[in-house]
């Protein structure tokens, strides 16, 4: 494609880059030869897009952001063909850093409709689901998976290979060393579960019946004193099947690193007076 009129005269855009005619590139930004910008993509000032970077329609890249840089991984080999993919309608704010994957033909992926706030970092080989929100200064280390519509609080840190389930909410300053099941509200250092993300699920349109089933599952999983394996058995036996519940159980079954523990004061968030059970930082399923 030929360069669009929206490229600032001071921007350096490689002739081999594929820019839609409606894409815009700000002052002093650098766009490499393997970059593809979709319709109405807006790249701010002083940005660097290097390596394989594909940005889908209507996404925005804030001033000073770096997309597609070399992974901060000692195993990475220079010249490995890998890249970064950004879904449509995603908003990447100022000074965000997203590194390309380490594996040949691998991709660090950001889903559609995400919001990555200023100074946040997404490392190599991560997968961020559609509609996820990464708040300022959060650090998503290599190979992490964030489910759709999950929120990662500001200044939070995730250990490599950590998974955060869909619609989970991670409070600010949290330290994640184990997987966070879908729909959970977690916080702390290390992060522990305090309840179901009821507000987020209500905003997402989940029915009261499904929300109640998830709350019952939370109580069995985190406040019954049972091991996770035994809690899952009781959840399957006692609670009515539903797509959200199935998703929760499937996630737990795939938690090779264990799931986060439960908070000692979880009863403050659960809405009753049942005594909460303190659990270890990480529990095997």
The pLDDT tens digits of the residues spanning 45-97 come to 999 999 999 999 999 999 999 999 999 999 999 999 999 999 999 999 999 99
> Over the stretch 182-208, which tens digit does the pLDDT of each residue have?
999 999 999 999 999 999 999 999 999
Which range marks the domain in which residue 248 is found? 205-283
Q: Is residue 194 part of a domain?
A: no
Answer whether residue 166 shows pLDDT above 80.
yes
Question: Could you tell me the CATH number of the domain that includes residue 15?
Answer: 2.160.10.10
The number of domains in the chain is: 2
In DSSP terms, 193 is beta-bridged to 186, 262
190 inside domain = no
Q: Is the pTM of this model over 0.85?
A: yes
Laid out side by side, the sheet with 18-19 consists of 18-19, 35-37, 52-55, 83-86, 107-110, 127-128, 145-146, 163-164
149 found inside a domain: no
Considering the domain boundaries, does residue 173 fall inside one?
Answer: no
């Amino acid at each position: 494609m030929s360069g669009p009129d929206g490229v600032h005269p001071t921007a350096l855009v490689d002739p081999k880059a594929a820019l839609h005619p409606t894409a815009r590139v700000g002052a002093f930004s650098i766009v490499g030869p393997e970059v593809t910008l979709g319709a109405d993509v807006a790249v701010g000032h002083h940005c660097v897009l290097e390596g394989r970077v594909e940005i889908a329609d209507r996404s925005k890249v804030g001033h000073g952001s770096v997309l597609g840089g070399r992974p901060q991984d000692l195993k990475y080999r220079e010249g490995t063909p890998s890249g970064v993919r950004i879904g449509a309608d995603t908003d990447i704010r100022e000074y965000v850093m997203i590194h390309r994957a380490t594996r040949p033909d691998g991709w660090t992926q950001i889903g559609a409709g995400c919001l990555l706030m200023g100074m946040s970092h997404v490392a190599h080989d991560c997968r961020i689901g559609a509609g996820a929100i990464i708040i300022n200064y959060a650090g998503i280390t290599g190979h992490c998976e964030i489910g759709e519509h999950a929120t990662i609080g500001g200044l939070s840190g995730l250990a490599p290979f950590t998974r955060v389930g869909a619609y989970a909410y991670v409070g600010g300053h949290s330290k994640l060393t184990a997987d966070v099941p879908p729909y959970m509200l977690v916080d702390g250092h290390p992060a522990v579960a305090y309840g179901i993300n009821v507000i987020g699920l209500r905003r997402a349109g989940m029915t009261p019946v499904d929300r109640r089933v998830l709350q019952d599952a939370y109580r069995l999983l985190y406040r019954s004193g049972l091991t996770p394996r035994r809690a899952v058995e009781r959840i399957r036996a006692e609670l009515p099947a539903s797509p959200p519940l199935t998703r929760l159980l499937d996630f737990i079954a795939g938690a090779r690193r264990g799931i986060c523990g439960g908070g000692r004061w979880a009863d403050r968030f659960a809405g009753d007076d049942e005594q909460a059970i303190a659990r270890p930082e990480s529990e095997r399923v």
